[in-house]
Amino acid sequence: MNLFTGDSSDEYFGSDTPPSVRRLLEQAAGAPPQQIEALLWTAQASAPECLATYYLLYKFHASRRQFALAERAARKGLHMAAEQAGLNADWQLVQPGDAVFTETGPARFWLFTLKALAFISLRAGREDEARKFLAHVQLIDPQGGAGGEVIAALLAAAAGGDNR
């Protein structure tokens, strides 16, 4: 079962999750926070190509307000997704036509992770950096399918006005 969509599938973010990683992720569900962290980082180290672990890591650390660790996981995930999708390693050089960002897979994960970096930067108090990430999300996804408008609204609220 796909933990993120509820679909009956062994696919996570458009790629297969190795059985060893799937076991670690299942162990992490409901474990104490320190054990979750160890299991997730172990999963990432054992299968760095598995995008699901990066998502779980940055969500876990961001929810615990551990923004440096969340950013570390997100940046690693962004790099791996870029590699898998054939995108430039420098996120600022990625352009809308470089990949299909609307379909399940590494390019879509890359886009969502870029949005996550905007959120993490904002929550860490780095609004200017969050705006840079968000501007690039909006360049790649002008229709807003990735949910960039949520970050835009948060930035506007943080600035005390409309920032869109």
> Is residue 136's pLDDT more than 90?
yes
Which two three-digit tokens encode residue 134?
A: 């968000």
Most confident of 4-18, 54-68, 148-162: 54-68
Which two three-digit tokens encode residue 142?
A: 């002008």
Type of residue at 59: K
Rounded to an integer, the average pLDDT of 79-95 is: 97
Rounded to an integer, the average pLDDT of 127-144 is: 94
Q: What is the mean pLDDT of the chain?
A: 88
**Sole residue written with tokens 């961001």:** 62
> Is residue 99's pLDDT more than 80?
yes
Q: How confident is residue 35, by pLDDT bands cut at 50, 70 and 90?
A: very high
- Residue 90 CB contacts under 8 Å (≥ 6 apart), including other chains: none
pLDDT at 17: 86
> Is residue 124's pLDDT more than 90?
yes
Q: Which domains does the chain have, with CATH numbers?
A: 11-159 (1.25.40.10)
Which two three-digit tokens encode residue 154?
A: 């948060």
pLDDT at 161: 55
Q: What is the chain's percent helix, strand, coil content, to nearest 5?
A: 65, 0, 35
pLDDT at 148: 83
Whole-prediction pTM? 0.86
Which two three-digit tokens encode residue 77?
A: 């995930």
> Is residue 163's pLDDT more than 70?
no
Residues facing 16 on adjacent strands: 11
